[in-house]
Chain A
Amino acid sequence: MFELTLIMLALPLSAFVVLLLGGKIIPPKKSPFVAITAMAISTVLAWALLIAVILGKEFERHFTWFDVGGQIVHLGVILDPLAAGMLLVVTMVALLVQIYSLGYMHGEKRMNWYYAALSLFTFAMLGVVVSSSLIQLLIFWELVGLCSYFLIGFWYEREDASRAAKKAFLTTRTGDVGFLVGAILFFTVLGTFHIPTLYERAASINPNLLAVMVLLLFAGAVGKSAQLPLHVWLPDAMAGPTPVSALIHAATMVAAGVYLVARTYPLFEMAPVALEVVAYVGAFTAFFAATIALVQVDIKKILAYSTVSQLGYMMVGLGVGSLATGMFHLTTHAAFKALLFLTAGSVIHSLHTQDIREMGRLYPKMKVTAITTIIGGLALAGVPPFAGFWSKDEILLEAAHNHFTLIYYLALITAGLTAFYIFRLIFLTFFGDEEVEAHESPPVMTVPLIVLAVVSIFIGFLNSPFLNNAFGHFLGEKEALKPDLSIMATSVFVAFAGIFVAYRSYYFQPGKKSRLNSLLSKRILAEKYWINQAYLRTFGFVADFLRHVAYNKYFVDEFYQLVIVRPVHYFADLLYLFDLKVIDGLVNSIGWATLSVAYSVGGFDVAVIDKAIVHFGKGAVGVSKIMGGFDVEIDKISVSMGRGAVGVSKVMGGADSKTDKATESLGWTNLRLGWLARGFDLGIVDGAVNGVGLLIAGIGKRLRRIQSGYLQDYPLIMFLTVLTLIIVVIFLGKK
């Protein structure tokens, strides 16, 4: 089992290595098959593992990575129902997306790189899923982010793509700081990264501290799963190829945040406050993103905001309900959102535009795409019996049951908005009034659509009363809530209401005038429903204003630009200026000050320097006298130093190079020092005092001569004189 899990992980990794290193050997046309073969085997293994887990063969293994101050940092692999289920989601979607990419990316250059990055991503994502160590999870988590960076920036020649890639990486990394600090806190407080051990030990600590710690982990989830306020990167990430959006930015990576909360769920349960925060963040994100999706015109942007919104839903599921509730919605969403992205890709592939206003009557030309989109849309809108209905209903049920009234209504409204925007998309794309040139995509693209559509129809039953809530039981939920018919009816009603409004507004019936936006048209409202014109004007104004705000995503990006990005850059420029002018300026002014002191001391002749050396020499000799036999040693040293230096200068040869001059003078200086040391025994104090002044003069002189550029030797003289000076002072002090 353990070995099987490792093989499943290793396959996509080896595909990555083969494609990366064999870049020139493997022809681009063959490269997809390397990746797809590896992926297919991984998928089969994931099935096998799931079946094994259903049969009760769970396992967990951990081992030492390294130790820090006696505490062991673990790595570990876990295969429990949570992991096994998620593995299947990841491998299935990854496999379908890789097959689909054969058609979608046909003719792209850099196919090797594309499939290499997809394979690496899959490896990293599977790594996240099977990690039983918080730190190992973080490693794979960051690797996932890196692959996302690569793939968003796949068309890196495009400014928007390279910018979006950077933005995604930075935004998620902001959350990851929380994750990292949280993980380290767990390590320092509880002594391990091993998640099952953390469950056992967490009960022993202060619940408030625990709440802080799990919320730090949650910060990482907020970044990865694009929750408020770190949601801004996901819509931009749509600059990547559409299959990538389906895999990474809809089905798997963005769900990693939800998975992280699920993986550490027992810790969250011990800190109920944290769980409430999760619920509220999720609910507001769900609502907020849905309102933006209402008015977008880029088909991928609509789906991106929809993803943000649905991820919020999952967080609500975890926050108000249970592990199974959130994970169930993750699973169904993976199917129908991947489907929706791939159908959108099919449309984009055919039309080369992402603007739904430029689409039109595609239904007759792209029947498979259209029908599968509708299935995905029904699943997303929560129409029974499609997948989304079951998972969404359960979240609403849990919210109502656990008395999260505000969250319940937010979620309910969001459900209505969701149904509206997805059918707005469907009607405008497939049932508009314009005839556009289009063709159905090749089977390599449509077959994955059909597979996902079938899954989207049926997967919901897994956790329905019909199958006795099998999914929940599998994830260890003891007792599912009894279905509440009134809540079911309400949610179905809301979904149909949303679809109906979209139908009235955007469905084009041949022979009739386009009803685009007609529902909110003032004239019709006034004529049909006798509403006061003044009210309508205000209403119209407010509606326009709201639409404008939502269309511009509540100006969050602009806000961040204003209060974070630009101030950071200004601050950076300011500090650099500070570095140049103040700190370096201080250094330079010290130089200038020294120079002027040197002027006052007078004389810039070589003689001054010579004198200084003489004085220091005297000092040195004085020292040697005091030390007795020491002077012989100094003699020896300096003579030999001198010889050595002369040797060096000889080695350097050559008459007129600067280096030669420098080395020669090094030898020369040393020789002179040695010579000096042999002589005189005049006042040490004298030498020291005069030396200080002359030293300064020396520095000043040197600074003055910098510009003339031929005085590389002076620092050496200074160095040697200072050396002597210090010996003098110290010995004096000793006496």
Chain B
Amino acid sequence: MKLPLLSMITFAPVLGILVISLIPRGKDMLIRRVATIFSALPFVFIVYVFTQFDFGAKKMQFIERIPWIKQVGIFYYMGIDGISIALLFVTGLLSIMAMLASWEIKERVKEYFTLMLFLETGMLGVFVALDYILFYIFWEITLVPMYFLIGIWGGPRREYAAIKFFIYTLLGSVLMLLAILALYFQADINSFSITQLWKAGRTFALAVQIPIFLGFYAGFAVKIPVFPFHTWLPDAHVEAPTAVSVLLAGVLLKLGGYGFFRIAMPSFPAAFERFVPWLVVLALINIIYGAYVAMAQRDLKKLVAYSSISHMGYILLGLVALNEAGLDGSMFQMVSHGLTTGMLFLLVGIIYSRTHTRLISELGGMQGKVPMLAGALAFDSMASLGLPGLSGFIGEFLVLVGVIMAAHLHPVFAVLAALNIVLTAGYLLWMIQRVSLGKIGEKLKSITDLSGFELAYLIPLIVLILLFGLYPTLLLNIFDVSVKNILTIMGG
């Protein structure tokens, strides 16, 4: 009998919740350890799936399909292709890093780790679900623990940020749910299967595709987030505890991009193409606007948050190129951004936990005082500003190639996106100059360098950023076939 690997991946953290529930309150260390072990289980399974995965196949693999509510065609339906497995990998990895970074949480440890594990299940579930109802359930599951994690363990304005996050994403997903139901009834094949509805969606008249597409767009655009639905992001990031920021930037934003790949593009190619002129403008606004606003920030975490908005714009830009290079770039950028921005948030968290400040003006001179921490920050900033040889460059490069190759897009869009590279370098170098160089800041007197524990969860990220930057084939081969497949599906 074949193991239900995808279910195991998805629900291993839930098992962790059950185990933790047996541990009495107060045994914090034990809870931390157990939670970390269970958060790492999915990654172990994912690695095993990697070894069994056929990267040359177009079809969904590791399928699990069990009738759930037969009358309306709801199945417990899971399966993965190259796109899902790449994102599963990032999710599994970052979940471990986030768990480790959570060890510093001292309050209500039991609840905290329960929610973190719950969140992990939700995130993993989204990437394996192939039934709309299942997909939606996981999608919403990510919301709830996120809300509590920000609202309880967050900073001073945590309630405001949590509510804002919740309302925004809820409104988005409500519209998405409407779109799911509309798609279901319009297709009228008594199936909520995502893959089956690809075919159905394409046959709709444009006038029908457009409203449904817009419903999905609302759900995905809020997550990415696309201007002007982005204002929840900086607030959520600033208030969220470090580990939550890591998962928020590293994984949750990718749900939006994933939605385009898995649903919006293959189901409604005509509507998507119709909106390309709008989307390209929005992508550029994201890129340029995000960079400018990042430049104006005085708070380290907000700077990273806005830089995230800017970087996520490249993902959208790659999508609208509608060719292999663009889509590959978009996927590459999703993985790379998960690693680099995840790491940036980890570093900001480390700095904050030692200095109790995130104000750039209060830091300074870290290079001399804590060379490893400053070195890691410099390395990651270089990856983030797209230094060739590191993973960020490949993503941006592929997106730019895609845009220039796309006959329906003017090359000037690529030039604008490329010019933004200077802005990105501008605010990141400015940040480094203020944080790492210069005279040692007031609050840094007693700062200590990275501990072995911290190095343990940073080094894998550094290695991957280097590896994907130097040998992009490694990552490209994972999702290339699936990306091509999506383009074929879109083409008819």
Contacts and interface: CB of A to CB of B under 8 A. Distances in A.
Contacts of A723: 177
B131 interface: no
Contact of B147 (A68, A571, A584, A712): A712
Contacts of A568: 292, 295, 423, 426
Contacts of A576: 292-293, 296-297
Interface string B410-426: 01001100110111011
Given A69-B324, A165-B433, 15 more contacts: A65-B473, A68-B398, A69-B328, A153-B437, A156-B436, A162-B433, A181-B418, A184-B397, A568-B295, A576-B293, A630-B69, A651-B17, A659-B111, A706-B159, A712-B147
Interface residues of A, number: 77
B425 A66 contact: no
26 contacts: A66-B472, A69-B328, A70-B324, A135-B397, A139-B389, A139-B393, A156-B436, A162-B437, A170-B425, A181-B414, A187-B401, A188-B405, A573-B296, A579-B231, A628-B71, A648-B17, A652-B114, A658-B152, A659-B115, A659-B152, A702-B163, A706-B159, A712-B162, A715-B167, A716-B144, A726-B174
Contacts of A165: 433, 437
Nearest first, the 9 closest Cβ-Cβ pairs linking A and B are A651-B21, A69-B324, A576-B296, A162-B437, A572-B295, A139-B388, A156-B437, A572-B296, A66-B473
B430 interface: yes
A190 B492 CA distance: 29
A146 interface: yes
Contacts of A727: 181
Nearest to A169: B429
Contact of B404 (A162, A174, A185, A654): A185
Contact of B430 (A161, A166, A587): A166
Contact of A652 (B110, B294, B422): B110
Contacts of A703: 163
A482 interface: no
B365 interface: yes
A163 interface: yes
Interface of A: 65-66, 68-70, 135, 138-139, 141-143, 146, 153, 156-157, 159, 161-163, 165-166, 169-170, 173-174, 176-177, 180-181, 184-185, 187-188, 568-569, 571-573, 575-576, 579, 583-584, 586-587, 591, 627-630, 633, 648, 650-654, 657-659, 662, 702-703, 706, 709, 712, 715-716, 718-719, 722-723, 726-727, 730, 733-734
Contacts, number: 188
B170 A69 contact: no
Contacts of B72: 627, 630
B388 A142 contact: yes
A180 B400 contact: yes
Find the residue from B69, B163, B178 having the highest chain A CB count within 10 A: B163
Nearest to B184: A730
Nearest to A179: B418
B292 A571 contact: yes
B160 interface: yes
Nearest to A142: B388
Contacts of A159: 438
Contacts of B111: 652, 657, 659
A659 B108 contact: yes
A167 B451 CA distance: 33
Interface in B235-263: none
A163 B437 CA distance: 9
Nearest to B168: A587
Given A69-B324, A723-B177, A654 B25 contact: yes
A142 B25 contact: no
Contacts of A662: 148
Contacts of A65: 472-473
B175 to A, nearest CB: 10
B90 interface: no
Nearest to A585: B231
Given A633-B71, A652-B110, A188 B401 contact: yes
A174 B368 CA distance: 29
A142 B400 contact: no
Interface of B: 17-18, 20-21, 25, 69, 71-72, 108, 110-111, 114-115, 140, 143-144, 147-148, 151-152, 159-160, 162-164, 166-168, 170, 174, 177-178, 181-182, 185, 228, 230-231, 289, 292-297, 323-325, 328, 365, 367-368, 382, 387-389, 393, 397-398, 400-401, 404-405, 411, 414-415, 418-419, 421-423, 425-426, 429-430, 432-433, 436-439, 472-473, 476
Contact of B296 (A180, A184, A575, A719): A575
Nearest to A23: B371
Contacts of B181: 726-727, 730
Contacts of A650: 21
Q: Which secondary structure dominates where chain A touches chain B?
A: helix
A709 B159 contact: yes
Contacts of B20: 651
Contacts of A185: 404, 411
A706 B148 contact: no
Contacts of B419: 177
A727 B430 CA distance: 51
Contact of B69 (A161, A170, A188, A633): A633
Contacts of B426: 170, 568
A650 B18 CA distance: 11
A414 B82 CA distance: 61
A169 B365 contact: no
A176 B393 CA distance: 13
Contact of A657 (B108, B182, B185, B472): B108
Given A142-B388, A583-B228, A652-B114, A730 B178 contact: yes
B30 to A, nearest CB: 15
Contacts of B439: 157
A719 B140 CA distance: 9
Contacts of A174: 422
B396 to A, nearest CB: 9
A68 B415 contact: no
Given A709-B159, A726-B174, A180 B418 contact: yes
